[in-house]
């Protein structure tokens, strides 16, 4: 079901998806003028309107964030700054980010490997949807080429995070203590990464 609402002089499209066996209700901002609600089959339009009213501030904040992060066709994010593709002669953004990753990440890995005395068996680069980095059981590191969108300190945090996985293959207290030892402000850097998403 889809319907429209007005919120603070904005006209928003609401998509209500009713699904069987859904225990919880999920609300998300999908574009600068659309929101989506996923809920069980008993969740009505009236329930949706109540939820929207209750979450109004959260929705407006999400819309503002989305607008801030939306780019024109000729723009791209270069280490946290909006740049013109034409200024950098960018034809294919994915290829550009991959080449940029290969330029910056090895330097950061080398720098922090020496400090942490943790050395990867290999480094690979790919565009991932769900992970910014990973460490496999052979201590090979994988990095998301999209990291070049964010400020360099975010990329550096991800490098330290993955190097720490060479020693601890989990997210235990020991793991986070190790990350904090070499990146004391890692929580701020995580928040910085999320602010761009």
User: Where do you find CATH 3.30.2010.10 in the chain?
Assistant: 76-195
Residue 129: the pLDDT is 81
What digits encode the pLDDT tens for the residues 175-187? 999 999 999 999 9
What digits encode the pLDDT tens for the residues 123-173? 999 998 889 999 999 999 999 999 999 999 999 999 999 999 999 999 999
> In angstroms, rounded to a whole number, what is the distance separating the alpha carbons of residues 6 and 23?
28
pTM over 0.75: no
Residue 31's pLDDT band, with cuts at 50, 70 and 90, is: confident
Does 188 score more than 80 pLDDT?
Answer: yes
Q: For a pLDDT cut of 90, what percent of the chain falls above it?
A: 76
Number of other CB atoms surrounding residue 169 within 10 Å: 13
What digits encode the pLDDT tens for the residues 90-104? 999 999 999 999 999
What digits encode the pLDDT tens for the residues 60-83? 888 877 766 678 889 999 998 889
Radius of gyration of the chain (CA): 21
What's the CATH number of domain 76-195, 1.10.10.10, 3.30.2010.10, 1.10.10.1590, 3.40.50.720? 3.30.2010.10
Residue 50: burial class (beta carbons within 10 Å; 0-12, 13-18, 19+): exposed
């Amino acid at each position: 079901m889809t319907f429209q609402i007005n919120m603070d002089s904005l006209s928003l499209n609401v998509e209500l998806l009713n699904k069987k066996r859904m225990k919880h209700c999920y609300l998300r901002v999908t574009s600068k003028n659309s929101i989506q609600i996923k809920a069980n089959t008993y969740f009505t339009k009236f329930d949706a309107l109540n939820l929207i009213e209750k979450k109004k501030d959260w929705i407006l904040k999400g819309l503002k964030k989305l607008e801030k992060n939306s780019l024109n066709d000729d723009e791209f994010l270069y280490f946290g700054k909006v740049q013109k593709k034409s200024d950098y002669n960018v034809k294919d953004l994915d290829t550009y980010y991959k080449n940029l990753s290969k330029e910056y990440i090895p330097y950061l890995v080398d720098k922090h490997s020496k400090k942490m005395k943790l050395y990867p068996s290999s480094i690979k680069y790919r565009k991932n949807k769900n992970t910014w980095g990973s460490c496999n059981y052979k201590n090979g590191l994988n990095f998301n080429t999209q990291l070049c969108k964010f400020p360099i300190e975010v990329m550096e945090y991800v490098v330290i995070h993955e190097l720490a996985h060479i020693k601890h293959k989990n997210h235990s207290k020991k793991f986070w203590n190790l990350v904090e030892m070499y990146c004391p402000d890692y929580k701020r850097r995580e928040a910085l990464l999320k602010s761009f998403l």
